[in-house]
């Protein structure tokens, strides 16, 4: 008889945001008239900018004529997009187009990158952490068993707390696969260059690979904060970088991202660039052509201008949250180089208790820090992705109810 | 030090169609003036039909306004599409929308479905076979080691030859995971209902799962040939079905497909529907919204009418190949319920030798049968996806050169 993958049974029944959605749905049913303000899931609200819409429509039109129709594209993405990304995002970093792999999302890539590594590698993650890194390793059998309070037996957790400014420090056990995400989801903090350089040096010293999720790179405002891990010396021999158009250009519903696997990245003589190319050509058929044209349009002059206006809009919202909560006496972090504000929940409440209270008393939805890991307990994530009007309203309600 | 997934090193260096593309590129460079006629890769050429283009453009427009903008969609696909598919494709088969999972392609799904099964299951495939089923199991360690001539040590091969009308018979070793594809890629033959029913009964008897790739379902012309495995009694307790808009509606560059995992499909009390839902919600973020609207438009009255005209066009091409080659004395199979014609290569040549000869003498590209497995040796796949004009030209050139 066929055996199922038993690791699935070890996972919590639902993905974090599915749990939250259910609670919110239940609340809405009980309070049909009440306006719920969602500062929970990290989903954008600003519409696509005009050059992006136009590019997608133009590509859709091309698909309607035999002369310009396109069937299967290259699995790793069209040259026009890979070249544009290399020239724009990696201008002085010497990343070539064939080191860039276009995909339908950073979630797809960060959850599948493990496929090219052995099952006996030791995985390290920050705590708190974006759940996908952990869950995908649970499915692949790298996580061991779950124990309430201490987490997965085989995962090396790197606590990110107030004491270390939410930046991970080298763990006692040397890990093989190190997931880092900066600007960080969920804490919203960015990493100074010298600290990222220290991680690159550490990985090169130990032969570890850094899986660097830079999905929020476009939010960086602080001068000197690295936008790419390849700004660090030696990163090409130890790091894979994930980027996305989701938050940068409002593509959460459009679906486009990319992953950089440098050719210099080799372990035991094996090229990870070649492995990932083989993985992608076996397991997907490239990203929708109109979507790739839409992504290309993000890089036009007009596209850049408008996309930056949207980012400024979210920055303003983050500032409203930060200043409003600070003013009301809350302790808050992040929110400068990132769309996420990481607040300490009021004394005496757990993260989920605060979630329930906030929903009940304010009809505001956030994400409980404990949903991201043990060391997220006592914290709460608010996002700047709602409208300015709703963000102001939400902050006002929180301040009224909790001060 | 990080260990790579060593199974990748066991794989042939390239994906079959990448090898072919290289040979064709080299030929074109040597013969810059020569018109190459491509009947190789199974890629469509007819443009998208108007309702599909219009739906995609309309959706792109919606994304440009805050009021109609959509961010993250449901990971398993929007209700509007899942409901339409259930009502149209599974009208009398009692498949509900939450048993249908929208994805970016049948390749993604057939190559990832293994994730929800244990690594020690025995895998059976037809021989010849679409390479993705095998390669994805090699990566996952289920294939064992490769030996020239006999294939992968742990894979159960089910030879599909003239003697059994290219339909697999029950193997000596009972497999746990059985990949079936009908209408078949590469042979182009379809399976009669009673033989598919026998496989369903076999799987239910032994507790095996059938992974049923029905990507070419829309090409079925022969009355009584099953369009879905769920037409067979008991299939819901043993089978997962994969479908795609790629060949049906020319979506190879648009990317949309779906997978049916019935709720009745349980092994050891575990619901595969729930497992696949968990897999998808952890490893992807849904399909592009404009793409899902485009897929929905395939089901409109006008969409259906135009899509069927395209299918008729490809059927006509298949007929040209079948009749032209038969007339010239070749032995040919398939091509009726499928866009693929499976021809026997001339006596004394291997599949790859015939590929080279055909390229050199006719500038016609096909796919060597041996690229699909040991029992594909001596055969050659031609597709009906080129224009009628080119198909006629290709057949003429073959007939001239090889008779």
Q: What is the pLDDT of residues A115-158, one digit of tens each?
A: 999 999 999 999 999 999 999 999 999 999 999 888 999 999 99
pLDDT above 90 (res A41): no
Asked if A175 and A29 sit in the same domain, the reply is no
Asked if A221 and A368 sit in the same domain, the reply is no
DSSP character string of A276-313: HHHHHHHH-----HHHHHHHHHTTSHHHHHHHHHHHHH
Asked if A292 and A333 sit in the same domain, the reply is no
Asked if A245 and A345 sit in the same domain, the reply is no
Asked if A202 and A219 sit in the same domain, the reply is yes
Q: What is the pLDDT of residue B402?
A: 86
The reply to whether A155 falls in a domain is yes
The reply to whether A2 falls in a domain is no
Query: Cβ atoms within 10 A of the Cβ of B15, count?
Result: 20
* CA distances (Å), origin A195, targets A123, A160, A335, B209, B383: 20, 14, 20, 50, 56
Cβ contact B5–A118 (<8 Å): yes
Stretch A295-315: mean pLDDT, rounded?
98
Q: What is the pLDDT of residues A326-361, one digit of tens each?
A: 998 999 999 999 999 999 999 999 999 999 999 999
**Residue B390 assigned as binding residue:** no
* CA distances (Å), origin B278, targets A279, B261, B274: 22, 12, 6
Helix axes B301-327, B388-402, angle to 10 degrees: 10
Residue B213 phi/psi, 5-degree rounding, is -90, 110
**Alpha carbons B300 and B324: distance in angstroms, whole number:** 36
**Alpha carbons A224 and A147: distance in angstroms, whole number:** 40
Q: How many CA atoms lie within 13 A of B14 on its CB side?
A: 10
Nearest-Cα distance to chain A for B402, in Å, is 31
Q: What is the pLDDT of residue A13?
A: 66
Tell which of B299, B326, B353 closes a domain: B299
**Alpha carbons B167 and B372: distance in angstroms, whole number:** 15
As given in the structure block, the two tokens for residue B289 are 């919204």
Angle at A394 between CA A390 and CA A395, to 5 degrees: 120
Question: Does B349 reach chain A within 8 Å, measured CB to CB?
Answer: no
Q: 3-class DSSP state for residue B217?
A: helix
| Nearest residue of A to residue B256, measured between CA atoms | A288
Stretch A268-275: mean pLDDT, rounded?
96
User: What part of A 145-164 touches B (C-beta under 8 Å)?
Assistant: none
The reply to whether A1 falls in a domain is no
- Structure-token match 């250009």, residue found: A249
Strand partners, A340: A383
Tell which of B262, B283, B299 closes a domain: B299
The reply to whether A383 falls in a domain is yes
**Residue B142 assigned as binding residue:** no
Model ipTM over 0.85: yes
What does chain B come to in residues?
Answer: 403
**Alpha carbons B267 and B244: distance in angstroms, whole number:** 26
The reply to whether A181 falls in a domain is yes
B342, B326 Cβ separation under 8 angstroms: no
| Nearest residue of B to residue A206, measured between CA atoms | B1
Question: Does A269 reach chain B within 8 Å, measured CB to CB?
Answer: no
Taking Cα atoms as reference points, which of B317, B318, B335, B325 lies closest to residue B387? B317
Q: What is the pLDDT of residues A132-141, one digit of tens each?
A: 999 999 999 9
User: What part of B 105-124 touches A (C-beta under 8 Å)?
Assistant: 105, 107-108, 111-112, 115-121
Q: What is the pLDDT of residue A55?
A: 98
pLDDT above 70 (res A14): no
Asked if B344 and B283 sit in the same domain, the reply is no
**Alpha carbons A224 and A336: distance in angstroms, whole number:** 14
Question: Does B69 reach chain A within 8 Å, measured CB to CB?
Answer: yes
Q: What is the pLDDT of residues B141-183, one digit of tens each?
A: 999 999 988 899 999 999 999 999 999 999 999 999 999 999 9
B46, B261 Cβ separation under 8 angstroms: no
Cβ contact B50–A56 (<8 Å): no
Tell which of B299, B329, B361 closes a domain: B299
pLDDT above 90 (res A403): no
**Overall domain count for chain B:** 2
What is the overall mean pLDDT for chain B?
96
Asked if A280 and A219 sit in the same domain, the reply is yes
Question: Does B60 reach chain A within 8 Å, measured CB to CB?
Answer: yes
* CA distances (Å), origin A217, targets A188, B164, B388: 11, 58, 49
The reply to whether A391 falls in a domain is yes
Residue in B46, B77, B178, B253 to test binding to A, most A beta-carbons within 10 Å: B253
Residue A333 phi/psi, 5-degree rounding, is -130, 170
As given in the structure block, the two tokens for residue A359 are 């929903």
The reply to whether B184 falls in a domain is yes
Confidence of residue B13 (pLDDT cuts 50, 70, 90): low
**Which residues from chain A sit within 8 angstroms of residue B239, using beta carbons?**
none
The reply to whether A213 falls in a domain is yes
A162: CATH: 3.40.640.10
Asked if A153 and A165 sit in the same domain, the reply is yes
Asked if B176 and B90 sit in the same domain, the reply is yes
**Which residues from chain B sit within 8 angstroms of residue A108, using beta carbons?**
283-285
DSSP character string of A337-389: SSSEEEEEPPTT--HHHHHHHHHHHH-EE-EEGGGG-GGGTTEEEEES-S-HH
In angstroms, how far is CA A328 from the centroid of its own chain?
A: 29
A331: CATH: 3.90.1150.10
Is the link from the previous residue into B384 a cis peptide, with omega within 30 of 0? no
Asked if B339 and B375 sit in the same domain, the reply is yes
Residue in A45, A250, A288 to test binding to B, most B beta-carbons within 10 Å: A288
**Alpha carbons A94 and A86: distance in angstroms, whole number:** 8
- Structure-token match 């608010």, residue found: A382
Stretch A147-174: mean pLDDT, rounded?
95
DSSP character string of B289-344: HHHHHHHHHTTSHHHHHHHHHHHHHHHHHHHHHHHHHHHTT--EEE-SSSSEEEEE
Q: How many CA atoms lie within 13 A of B149 on its CB side?
A: 0
Asked if A197 and A215 sit in the same domain, the reply is yes
Confidence of residue A104 (pLDDT cuts 50, 70, 90): very high
Nearest-Cα distance to chain A for B267, in Å, is 7
Structural domain that includes position A385? 7-47+302-402
Q: What is the pLDDT of residues A208-266, one digit of tens each?
A: 999 999 999 999 999 999 999 999 999 999 999 999 999 999 999 999 999 999 999 99
Q: 3-class DSSP state for residue B155?
A: coil
Cβ contact A64–B50 (<8 Å): yes
Asked if A38 and A91 sit in the same domain, the reply is no
**Which residues from chain A sit within 8 angstroms of residue B43, using beta carbons?**
71-72
Choose among A43, A46, A135: nearest Cβ to B282: A135
B233, B194 Cβ separation under 8 angstroms: no
* CA distances (Å), origin A286, targets B48, B112, B196: 18, 15, 32
Stretch B361-385: mean pLDDT, rounded?
95
Stretch B86-98: mean pLDDT, rounded?
97
Q: What is the pLDDT of residues B202-261, one digit of tens each?
A: 999 999 999 999 999 999 999 999 999 999 999 999 999 999 999 999 999 999 999 999
- Structure-token match 């996420």, residue found: A340
Q: What is the pLDDT of residue A150?
A: 87
pLDDT above 70 (res B309): yes
**Alpha carbons B393 and B401: distance in angstroms, whole number:** 12
Taking Cα atoms as reference points, which of B383, B243, B387, B218 lies closest to residue B303? B218
- Structure-token match 């648009």, residue found: B254
| Nearest residue of A to residue B254, measured between CA atoms | A288
B183, B215 Cβ separation under 8 angstroms: no
């Amino acid at each position: 008889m066929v055996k199922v993958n038993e690791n699935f049974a070890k996972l919590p029944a639902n993905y974090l945001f599915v749990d939250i959605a259910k609670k919110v749905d239940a609340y809405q049913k009980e309070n049909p008239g009440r306006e719920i303000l969602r500062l929970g899931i990290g989903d954008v609200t600003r519409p696509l900018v005009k050059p992006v819409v136009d590019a997608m429509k133009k590509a859709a039109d091309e698909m309607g004529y035999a002369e310009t129709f396109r069937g299967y594209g290259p699995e790793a993405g069209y040259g026009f997009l890979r070249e544009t990304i290399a020239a724009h995002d990696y201008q002085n970093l010497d990343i070539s187009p064939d080191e860039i792999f276009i995909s339908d999302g950073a979630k797809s890539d960060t959850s599948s990158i493990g496929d090219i590594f052995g099952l006996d590698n030791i995985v390290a993650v920050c705590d708190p952490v974006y759940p996908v890194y952990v869950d995908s390793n649970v499915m692949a059998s790298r996580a061991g068993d779950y124990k309430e309070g201490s987490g997965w037996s085989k995962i090396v957790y790197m606590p990110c707390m107030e004491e270390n400014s939410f930046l991970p420090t080298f763990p006692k056990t040397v890990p093989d696969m190190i997931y880092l995400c900066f600007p960080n989801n969920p804490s919203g903090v960015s990493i100074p260059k010298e600290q990222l350089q220290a991680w690159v040096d550490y990985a090169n010293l130990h032969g570890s690979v850094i899986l660097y999720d830079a999905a929020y790179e476009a939010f960086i405002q602080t001068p000197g904060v690295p936008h790419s891990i390849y700004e660090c010396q030696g990163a090409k021999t130890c790091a894979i970088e994930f980027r996305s158009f989701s938050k940068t250009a409002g593509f959460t519903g459009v679906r486009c991202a990319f992953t950089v696997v440098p050719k210099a990245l080799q372990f035991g003589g094996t090229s990870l660039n070649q492995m990932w190319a083989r993985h992608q050509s076996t397991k997907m058929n490239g990203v929708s052509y109109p979507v790739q044209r839409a992504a290309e349009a993000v890089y036009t002059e007009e596209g850049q201008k408008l996309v930056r206006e949207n980012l400024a809009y979210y920055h303003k919202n983050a500032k409203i949250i930060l200043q409003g909560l600070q003013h009301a006496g809350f302790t808050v972090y992040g929110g400068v180089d990132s769309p996420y504000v990481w607040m300490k929940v009021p004394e005496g409440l757990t993260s989920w208790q605060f979630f329930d209270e906030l929903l009940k008393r304010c009809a505001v939805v956030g994400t409980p820090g404990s949903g991201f890991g043990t060391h997220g307990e006592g914290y709460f994530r608010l996002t700047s992705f709602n409208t300015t009007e709703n963000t102001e309203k939400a902050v006002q309600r929180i301040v009224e109810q909790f001060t």
